[in-house]
Amino acid sequence: MSLFTLAAYIAIVLISISTLLTLIRFIIGPSLPDRVISLDVFSANLLAVLAIYSVLSEEKAYLNVALIMSLIAFVGTMTFAYYLVQKRHKHQGDDSGYS
């Protein structure tokens, strides 16, 4: 086992621990923006694990999957952000031109 392989396995373990902590933050909350950010960090952690596994297994197809997952996660985060902005403007009665 090379030093690179050992470092990759250690990185997967540490990122997995980070993923579990992020999942706990998602469950606890307390607000919707906290949950949205934790979901985004959760997806970034999954993408990192998938990329490291792709390098370890020497399979390029996993990188394509990671790319598509990152695009979907980005669109999801932007959708939640747009929803929160619209909700705030509607709640405050702000007619500043956003629709």
Tokens of 52: 């490291």
Query: In the predicted model, is pLDDT for residue 52 greater than 90?
Result: yes
* CATH architecture entry for 3-92: Orthogonal Bundle (1.10)
| Identity of residue 85 | V
Query: In the predicted model, is pLDDT for residue 8 greater than 80?
Result: yes
Tokens of 75: 């669109």
Looking at residue 99, its pLDDT comes to 52
Q: Are 43 and 69 in contact (CB under 8 A)?
A: yes
Which of 82, 81, 74, 24 has its CA nearest to residue 47? Answer: 74
pTM strictly above 0.85: no
CA separation, residue 69 to residues 11, 30, 42, 66 (Å): 20, 26, 12, 5
Q: Residue 29: helix, strand or coil by DSSP?
A: coil
